[in-house]
């Protein structure tokens, strides 16, 4: 299980570097618009929208950008977006899930397929790697909120399933349907989280050496750079030594 935390940590550090990018704001805004369109435009009555707004705030998206994204849904924007999941294998046989939100399925499929081939991977059918992951809620806190025991106690009390901690982060996992309730309970106990989102959590992992990990990270970076791609998950396992090099 240690690899999951290291992987979360690498993504977390990368996320901090990316936080200034308007591309990230655009992806978060799109999620807000679609979430508001699919349910109620009031975050208090729409758990998916509430989580999308919370994640946007944690990435310092300005309030007026969030409000504008919600208003777009009321104006009818977001109708054309379709959520699609792509599955395939990256370098070293690592399983990769790509979550996209697109207004042109053919364009996105073509881009994702060619990105996989150019970077030593291959796109498979839907379901080809999905069985190696579980849909979970993920809530992250910095270690400054408390030690492992205190966070574990708060997480159990809130109804979470598992906690993985390392020197930088506490990563709390919940059943996918419990994310909203657990996140509210944790907010009362520990304050605002750094991230609150639904993720694909690997049930089996593939260990990579430094070269393999670097190749995989490159594939993920190029995929994430595409405007249609919301997030990318891989079942990579790496040693502490490799993590330190990345």
CA neighbor of 184 nearest in space, from 88, 30, 44: 44
Of the listed ranges 75-84, 168-177, 219-228, the least confidently predicted one is 75-84
pLDDT per residue over 47-77, tens digit each? 888 889 988 888 888 899 999 999 888 777 6
Banded model confidence at residue 11, pLDDT cuts 50, 70, 90:
low
- Higher pLDDT, residue 168 or 146: 146
Q: For residues 62 and 52, what is the distance between their CA atoms, to the nearest angstrom?
A: 13
**Tens digit of pLDDT for each residue in 136-145?**
999 999 999 9
2 pLDDT band, cuts 50/70/90, is very low
Query: What is the pTM for the complete model shown?
Result: 0.84
Cα–Cα distance between 92 and 207 in angstroms, integer? Answer: 8
Q: What is the residue-averaged pLDDT of the chain?
A: 87
């Amino acid at each position: 299980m240690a690899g999951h935390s290291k992987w979360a940590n690498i993504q977390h550090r990368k996320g901090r570097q990316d936080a200034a990018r308007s591309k990230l704001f655009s992806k978060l805004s799109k999620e807000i618009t679609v979430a508001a369109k699919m349910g109620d435009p009031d975050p208090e009555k729409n758990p998916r929208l509430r989580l999308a707004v919370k994640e946007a705030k944690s990435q310092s998206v300005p309030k007026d950008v969030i409000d504008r994204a919600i208003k777009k849904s009321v104006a009818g924007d977001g109708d054309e977006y379709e959520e699609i999941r792509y599955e395939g294998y990256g370098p070293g046989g690592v399983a990769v899930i790509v979550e996209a939100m697109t207004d042109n399925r053919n364009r996105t499929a073509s881009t994702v397929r060619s990105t996989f081939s150019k970077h030593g991977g291959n796109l498979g059918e839907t379901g080809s790697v999905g069985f190696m992951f579980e849909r979970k809620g993920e809530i992250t806190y910095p270690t400054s909120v408390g030690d492992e025991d205190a966070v574990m106690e708060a997480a159990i009390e809130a109804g979470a399933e598992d906690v993985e901690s390392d020197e930088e982060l506490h990563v709390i996992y919940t059943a996918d349907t419990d994310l909203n309730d657990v996140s509210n309970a944790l907010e009362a106990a520990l304050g605002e989280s750094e991230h609150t989102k639904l993720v694909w959590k690997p049930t089996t992992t593939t260990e990579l050496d430094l070269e393999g990990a670097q190749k995989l990270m490159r594939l993920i970076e190029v995929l994430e750079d595409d405007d249609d791609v919301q997030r990318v998950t891989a079942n990579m396992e790496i040693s502490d030594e490799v993590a330190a090099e990345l």
